[in-house]
Amino acid sequence: MDLEVYSEDKKSIWNEFVRKSKNATFLIMREYMDYHKDRFTDMSLMFYDNKKNLIGILPANIEGNELMSHGGLTYGGFILDKKMKTTTMLEMFNLLINFCKGKNIKTILYKPIPYIYHEIPSQEDLYALFINNAKLHIRNISSSIKLGKKNDYETRRKRQINKALKNNIIVLETNDYDKYWVILEQNLMEKHESRPVHTVNEIKSLASIFPNNIKLFCSYKDNTLLGGVVVYENKENVHVQYISASEEGKAIGALDIIFDKLINEIYKDKEYFDFGISNENKGRYLNEGLINQKEGFGASAVAYDQYILYL
């Protein structure tokens, strides 16, 4: 077995492997990873078996003496061939560790892809982490719905949906990122004194590159935009983020009606609907109001873990 550091001339090979792997999402495509490449020192790796077949890739960056998989993504970890064996995964981890030691890297921060994003079971890496004495470093909690077996909405969510219907709110897929980002940025600044991870130009650029994966759904009353949700769509699942509404929208269910349409109409045939995490402070703080809202739609907990391996 051998590994090589990713270089741009391997872009098409990398992307093709992502498309055929058993546990990747479009976030691992180089066009997505590289939109912010100026902020990270890339150290992505490609692993080959003894017959020179590509069997795994590791999206990664290096920061000081730490290798992160990946610092610019929600998750990372090994992306694997559908025929991956546990013993092969152990060998890949040993190769990774020896490579890092040779580069004087002291720690590996590893963010495995949550199981709801796997096309088929793909947790060989979790066993390899255990065998190599990696420690659980961060545990965030996301809220997800298994769409084929979803729970009923709680009363408050039903009430908000009814308010939206009575106010003749409609939900549309739109490209009006500029108008929506004004609401999003205002809410984030007022509540958290923060900004979206993506600027409006970045999200528009990514949506143009991945039109089948990144979508914006907004709710309107009399042509006034009241709320919105950005959807990251994968083959078997959807993830929602950048969820926000105006004060008027919050009062009359402008977000609830979007979620209801996404869950029960647009994405009803997907396997999972993922609301994302409700944590801050490396998982130690749980935003109870936020998670209660998500659980009100029948969602339940999925762990987004991060492990640290000291070399």
User: What does the pLDDT look like over 59-104, one tens digit per residue?
Assistant: 999 999 999 999 999 999 999 999 999 999 999 999 999 999 999 9
Mean pLDDT of the chain: 97
Q: Can you name the residues that pair with 300 across neighbouring β-strands?
A: 144
Mean pLDDT, range 235-250, rounded to an integer: 96
Place 37 in a pLDDT band, splitting at 50, 70 and 90.
Answer: confident
**Pairing label, strands 66-69, 107-110:** parallel
Mean pLDDT, range 124-147, rounded to an integer: 98
Say what the pLDDT of residue 215 is: 99
Rounded distance between C-alpha atoms, residue 62 and residue 64, angstroms: 6
The fraction of the chain above a pLDDT of 70, given in percent, is 100
Mean pLDDT, range 42-49, rounded to an integer: 98
**Pairing label, strands 61-63, 41-42:** antiparallel
Comparing C-alpha atoms, which of 39, 120, 125 is closest to residue 75? 125
Mean pLDDT, range 14-23, rounded to an integer: 98
- Residue with structure tokens 């079971």? 121
Q: For 162-210, how does the pLDDT look when each residue is reduced to its tens digit (9 = 90+)?
A: 999 999 999 999 999 999 999 999 999 888 778 998 999 999 999 999 9
Mean pLDDT, range 252-266, rounded to an integer: 98
pLDDT at 134 over 80: yes
Rounded distance between C-alpha atoms, residue 49 and residue 169, angstroms: 55
Mean pLDDT, range 254-264, rounded to an integer: 98
Say what the pLDDT of residue 183 is: 96
* All structural domains of the chain: 2-133 (3.40.630.30), 144-304 (3.40.630.30)
pLDDT at 126 over 90: yes
Say what the pLDDT of residue 36 is: 84
Say what the pLDDT of residue 185 is: 95
Is 119 within 8 Å of 307 (Cβ atoms)? no
Phi and psi based region of residue 113 (left: phi greater than 0; alpha: psi -120 to 50; beta: remaining): beta
How remote is the C-alpha of 107 from its chain's centroid?
Answer: 23
Q: Can you name the residues that pair with 12 across neighbouring β-strands?
A: none
Residues in CB range of 171: below 8 A, 6 or more apart: 217, 218, 219, 220, 257, 258, 261
Rounded distance between C-alpha atoms, residue 197 and residue 72, angstroms: 10
Percent helix, strand, coil in the chain, to 5, is 40, 30, 30
CA atoms within 13 A on the CB side of 310: 3
The residue count of the chain comes to: 311
